[in-house]
Amino acid sequence: MDLYRVDISSVVSKYIGETEKNLCHVLDEAESLDAILLFDEAMLCLASEVTSMFIDCGFRLD
């Protein structure tokens, strides 16, 4: 498995729905590559919003 660092600023967008779309794309790519993602510390600031985006993309957070 490869480890990829994701800069959350490259995923978050000011346009409605684009952040979710970008995050889903990142997660789908990681799944297809069987990769592990490491999100930067900004993820902590957006915890509840990001958690709902993960769920919207069909991923479980265990």
Span 4-32, pLDDT tens digits: 998 888 888 889 889 889 988 998 999 99
Residues 6+ apart with CB under 8 A from 9: 42
Q: Where are the domains of the chain?
A: 3-56
Class of residue 35 by CB neighbours under 10 A (exposed 0-12, middle 13-18, buried 19+): middle
Give strand pairing partners of 6: 39
Share of the chain above pLDDT 70, in %: 71
Residue-level pLDDT at 11: 84
Distance separating alpha carbons of residues 15 and 58, to the nearest angstrom: 21
Residue 33 dihedral angles phi and psi, to the nearest 5°: -95, -5
Residue-level pLDDT at 35: 93
